[in-house]
Structure 1
Amino acid sequence: MDELLKAELANIKTGLETKTALEVKSQIDAFEAKVNTEFKSANAIELKSVKEELQGKLDALQAHADKLDLKLQEKGTAANVKSYDAVMQNALKDNFDSVSKVTKGKSTSLEIKAVGNMTIATNLTGSAVATVQDGVSIVPSQKINFTDLVPTVNSATGIYVIYRETGAEGSISTQTEGASKSQQDYDLTAVTFNAAYLSGFTRYSKQMAQDLPFLQSFLPMALRRDYFKAENLQFYTALAAAATASTTAKTVDVEQLVDDMGSLEAIDYDVTGIVLNPKDWANIAITKPNDYSLPGIVTFVNGKLAINGVPVYKASWVPVDKYLMGDWAYAKKIAVDGLAVEFFEQDADNVTKNLITARIEQRVVLGIDRPNAFILGDFGNVV
């Protein structure tokens, strides 16, 4: 074997002795013997080429060992150094055949990976197995809808007319013998309510429908929830604009409500419900004298609050600090058709884009028979 190659191998062996255990030296000795045998008949030029390739591989290995040694020295534990020596020995042993067969134009690589604890972050390529919950964690609906308080009537057309009594002249009185009886007349006004479609739609791809099977059940629930939110707000706005504004001089919340109840009952309306924001409902529920009992006129049983026997409803569609009370039989939801959720593939450019349209709509209007059957009040708590 070429003497220059022998000298280079001796230098490599000496350099590694300071970095690895005696077993590494033994492996290199064996490597040297095998090279002597396999390349005994090779010429000097070929041996020089082989030596250069081997030298490059082992130089890279030496540099890697130096870097690892510096890190191990920083940690300052002999156990880690031994661990590295063991890894180095295993790497040389596992790759000895491929390294020893290196010739001109044929190279090999040697990778060293330190043994450690397996973790998802370091040992897994990709994602771990996930458990997927069925359906959607949906945003809740409002606790009470306007239509829970008023009746619903159907109309054959979108034009709904009521005749409202608006005045009277004369009187009914005791007749004086021989005199004319008293005369009474009444004034009526036709009031027209025009229904309009309250609607909305969403559009999604067929791929989404296929890949998310729960979409067909989720969308109708979500659309109905948001439809009623819109209807609640529309009907509240209409009734609040028509209702009589409170004129009570009371400043305590419960006293204001009781005073306004008296005002409605004084003109012969029955107060069948009080609607207010959940925050104001809570303020009333925790109104307590020093003995921690509720005011005598307020009852709170099984989560249901009542004032003088009149139920108090929590509705998030009523603004904070406002309340609406009245005889709810004097308002109604007028519906021309039923609330419908429908799906369409033939809509706009759905065919060319593989889309599906989901639509919700109903033609409705709030009919108010007697605006003065309702009072809109302000607690005056919000500045």
Structure 2
Amino acid sequence: MNRQIFLSSAAILGAMTASERMAGRYLRAPDGHPENTKTAEQLATEVKAAFQKSLDTVREIAEKALADAAKGNNLASDVKEKADEALIKMNGLNEQLTQLEQKMARGGGGDEDERKSLGELFVSDERVKSFLSSAPSAGKIDIRLKATLTSLTTDAAGSVGDAIQNTRLPGILPLPQRRLTVRDLISPGRMDGNALEYVKETGFTNGAAPVAEAATKPSSDIKLELITTSAKVIAHWMKASRQVLDDISQLRSMIDERLIFGLGLVEEAQLLFGDGTGQNLLGIVPQATAYAAPITIAGATSIDMIRLAMLQAALALFPATGTVMHPADWAFIELQKDAGGNYIIGDPQSPLGPSLWGAPVVTTPAMTIDKFLVGAFKLGAQLFDRWDSRVETGYVNDDFIKNLVTILGEERLALAVYRPEAFIYGDFGRVA
């Protein structure tokens, strides 16, 4: 927006006088008079020359004073006054030169680069000066002052902030994910239909013994139980408009990834702690054997307890193939040090994965903190997939007329735990 000023010649003269009184922002030339027509560089050159002249004067007076002092003469009072006057002038010029150099360093424009008031802009305008120099008795002059452009977003002259484009990183930042590995410990399988039947061994008495010639041979007993379970569905969905899926190419892949990842989170918790009610799997922990150290170790550490749990499984004829624990418990174990301050478990810079006593350690937040699960996962359990994890898209209800799409992620699986004694579930005992 432009602002127009229409002033008579008398008003111009009055405004000029008032503006000159109020402005007072002139760069001073070396002689102390206003020098409004010179640039900062010209003034700096002149001030520097005056400063050098004053410096020479001071040096000349000092050399004369030293010569008189060498002859034993006292410094005359008039010489002392000249020296004081020269020093004061030199210091003033030095300060002025410093200010000019700072102005030029900031942009080289002096007062021309500073924001001026309306009166200052008026009296410095060349058209105003030309009009006044003609000694007018009447008439007017039209001056258009354009507003200063700023980054403001308010409804005001010069506010152009709304046109500034922000810097934005492309795409969507990914959410943190955790590695899912409990499934990897268990033997995989496929199934047909909805029902899964398997035989679970619940007891075994070994009567095998050396037998003498013609003697009666001993018998052994085994207790079996037929277990029937069904495949359980784990599913969730999201809705999205067709427009947003077309406009944000990354969004569809992100939704697919999050749906699959969400299925895995629930699956891992079900494999460990599912209670078998309703549509829950019957997980490993509810069927596992409670930890009971086969031998007594004084002051057993967490590492000792894992070894004793492996011994317990081995005595049940199911050598352990892995351990599951919370990441906090694994960190506690890794940070254990000996008396010399050396880490007991591995090297902090080692690229090797977690393991204890020759078996891999799976760390997952799905496991309860301060608990551990040790077992023969490959022999003791099997996971049966009826539907692999998948993502499907379709219209539900009035999605079609609303340009909406329903994106569904789901899987269907069953878990068989053949040997409960193959799994040992225990408590580290560090958390009350």
1:145 corresponding residue in structure 2: 181
Q: Distance in 2 between matches of 1:156 and 1:369?
A: 19
In structure 2, relative to structure 1, the CA distance for the partners of 1:343 and 1:371 (3 Å cut) is same
Q: Distance in 2 between matches of 1:202 and 1:160?
A: 31
Q: Distance in 2 between matches of 1:378 and 1:255?
A: 12
Q: Deviations over 1:114-161 (max 9, x none)?
A: 5x8x65777533253445444322113222332121122110012111
Q: Deviations over 1:66-112 (max 9, x none)?
A: xxxxxxxxxxxx98696543433689969xxxxx89xxxxxx99766
- Asked whether the 8 Å contact 2:202–2:419 carries over to 1, the reply is no
Q: Distance in 1 between matches of 2:20 and 2:310?
A: 96
Q: Distance in 2 between matches of 1:278 and 1:302?
A: 17
Per-residue deviation at 1:240?
1.6
- Name the aligned partner's letter for residue 289 of structure 2: T
Asked if 1:341 corresponds to 2:391, the answer is yes
- For the residue of structure 2 that corresponds to 1:349, the secondary structure is coil
Asked if 1:87 corresponds to 2:87, the answer is no
In structure 2, relative to structure 1, the CA distance for the partners of 1:318 and 1:13 (3 Å cut) is same
In structure 2, relative to structure 1, the CA distance for the partners of 1:350 and 1:163 (3 Å cut) is same
In structure 2, relative to structure 1, the CA distance for the partners of 1:231 and 1:261 (3 Å cut) is same
1:321 corresponding residue in structure 2: 370
Per-residue deviation at 1:361?
0.6
Q: Which of residues 147, 169, 177 is equivalent to 1:113?
A: 147
Q: Which of residues 236, 242, 254 is equivalent to 2:287?
A: 242
Q: Which of residues 317, 332, 344 is equivalent to 1:268?
A: 317
1:61 corresponding residue in structure 2: none
Q: Distance in 2 between matches of 1:230 and 1:82?
A: 68
- Tell me the matched-pair count: 307
Per-residue deviation at 1:302?
2.3
Write out aligned runs for 1:1-383 (5 A).
9=8, 12-13=11-12, 15-20=14-19, 84-88=118-122, 113=147, 124-168=160-204, 171-237=207-273, 238-248=283-293, 251-295=300-344, 298-299=345-346, 301-329=350-378, 330-344=380-394, 346-383=395-432
Q: Distance in 2 between matches of 1:87 and 1:9?
A: 17
In structure 2, relative to structure 1, the CA distance for the partners of 1:128 and 1:333 (3 Å cut) is farther
- Asked whether the 8 Å contact 1:91–1:111 carries over to 2, the reply is no
- For the residue of structure 2 that corresponds to 1:188, the secondary structure is strand
- Name the aligned partner's letter for residue 182 of structure 1: P
- Asked whether the 8 Å contact 1:299–1:305 carries over to 2, the reply is no
Q: Distance in 1 between matches of 2:287 and 2:252?
A: 40
In structure 2, relative to structure 1, the CA distance for the partners of 1:168 and 1:229 (3 Å cut) is closer
Per-residue deviation at 1:328?
0.8
2:29 corresponding residue in structure 1: none
Q: Distance in 2 between matches of 1:81 and 1:264?
A: 84
Q: Deviations over 1:33-90 (max 9, x none)?
A: xxxxxxxxxxxxxxxxxxxxxxxxxxxxxxxxxxxxxxxxxxxxx9869654343368
- For the residue of structure 1 that corresponds to 2:387, the secondary structure is coil
Q: Distance in 2 between matches of 1:259 and 1:170?
A: 23
Q: Distance in 1 between matches of 2:254 and 2:339?
A: 49
- For the residue of structure 1 that corresponds to 2:307, the secondary structure is helix
- Asked whether the 8 Å contact 1:251–1:379 carries over to 2, the reply is no
Q: Distance in 2 between matches of 1:381 and 1:163?
A: 37
- Asked whether the 8 Å contact 1:196–1:364 carries over to 2, the reply is yes
- For the residue of structure 2 that corresponds to 1:20, the secondary structure is helix
Q: Distance in 2 between matches of 1:379 and 1:88?
A: 85
Unaligned runs of 5+ in 2: 1-6, 22-110, 129-138, 274-282
- Asked whether the 8 Å contact 2:151–2:160 carries over to 1, the reply is yes
Unaligned runs of 5+ in 1: 1-7, 23-77, 95-99, 102-107
In structure 2, relative to structure 1, the CA distance for the partners of 1:170 and 1:210 (3 Å cut) is closer
- Name the aligned partner's letter for residue 220 of structure 1: D
TM-score (norm 2): 0.62
- For the residue of structure 2 that corresponds to 1:337, the secondary structure is strand
Q: Distance in 1 between matches of 2:126 and 2:389?
A: 77
In structure 2, relative to structure 1, the CA distance for the partners of 1:14 and 1:261 (3 Å cut) is same
In structure 2, relative to structure 1, the CA distance for the partners of 1:196 and 1:211 (3 Å cut) is same
- Name the aligned partner's letter for residue 337 of structure 1: W
- Asked whether the 8 Å contact 1:135–1:218 carries over to 2, the reply is no
- For the residue of structure 1 that corresponds to 2:284, the secondary structure is helix
- Asked whether the 8 Å contact 1:244–1:371 carries over to 2, the reply is yes
* Greater CA drift, 197-206 or 12-21: 12-21
- Asked whether the 8 Å contact 1:87–1:112 carries over to 2, the reply is no
In structure 2, relative to structure 1, the CA distance for the partners of 1:16 and 1:258 (3 Å cut) is same
- Name the aligned partner's letter for residue 388 of structure 2: G
Overall identity of the aligned pairs, in %: 23
- Asked whether the 8 Å contact 1:202–1:357 carries over to 2, the reply is yes
- For the residue of structure 1 that corresponds to 2:367, the secondary structure is coil
- Name the aligned partner's letter for residue 318 of structure 1: M
Q: Deviations over 1:187-208 (max 9, x none)?
A: 3210122211101100011121
TM-score (norm 1): 0.69
- For the residue of structure 2 that corresponds to 1:325, the secondary structure is strand
* Greater CA drift, 278-287 or 240-249: 240-249
